[in-house]
Structure 1
């Protein structure tokens, strides 16, 4: 975990890593009237004010009611995830890697003893094959020349 940078959090920039740039809740990004369909100026201004204040109060109310329990659950969840990774998954993967090292050596030895000579012989047989591709060649003609 990162140590806290200080007792006082930066309250101005609450999204320094730009995690939620995709959330657009500004009036101009949500509502727009085209040139041919315009509401009266007073209705437009009143709608803008209603939207802005409703959005702010609703978000504030939800944040006050739901944010602390969500933070508690997320904190516990990430603590459990970190514990599981540190004390369970990483040691198990390390053991698995150690156990499979000998199996890897065995498989490499078997392949070197069996498949390598076979592939070398096939390569020796096929070394004289040449492929010529002609643009004007008919479709049914075999282009493989041995």
Structure 2
């Protein structure tokens, strides 16, 4: 099992859309600035509550949710290995048989007519 990276927790960049820093959520345009201490305290409160709530939710729910997702992906892998892939192989085998039957029918029934017509038109010259 690979070692867990505690610094870069999104190495495959799965959640680039999830921007939830203070600067990504709150912004005061020019001409509408609050008092500097309000802005600084708002930043501190936002980051404190966001961090506290996120850590509390992950502590209470994260392990169970991760376990559920592990079961879901195990089930998906199981169904693909033991059901979908064999069904696809069976489908490929049956389609191969149908292709052979179709080819034989064309060769026996249609090809002689096409060859005869080709022979008739072959004799026409400019």
- TM bracket (short chain): 0.7 to 0.9
CA distance in 2, matches of 1:75, 1:85: 15
Question: TM-score, length-normalised on structure 1?
Answer: 0.71
CA distance in 2, matches of 1:28, 1:108: 66
- Three-state SS of the structure 2 residue aligned to 1:12 is coil
- Three-state SS of the structure 1 residue aligned to 2:16 is coil
Q: Does 1:114 align with 2:106?
A: no
- Three-state SS of the structure 2 residue aligned to 1:100 is helix
More helix by share: 2
Question: TM-score, length-normalised on structure 2?
Answer: 0.81
Corresponding residue number in structure 2 for 1:137: none
Corresponding residue number in structure 1 for 2:24: 29
Paired residue for 1:76, among 71, 75, 100? 71
CA distance in 1, matches of 2:106, 2:32: 75
Corresponding residue number in structure 2 for 1:62: 57
CA RMSD of aligned residues (A): 2.3
Number of residue equivalences: 116
CA distance in 1, matches of 2:36, 2:28: 12
Q: Which sections of structure 2, spanning at least 5 residues, go unmatched?
A: 122-126
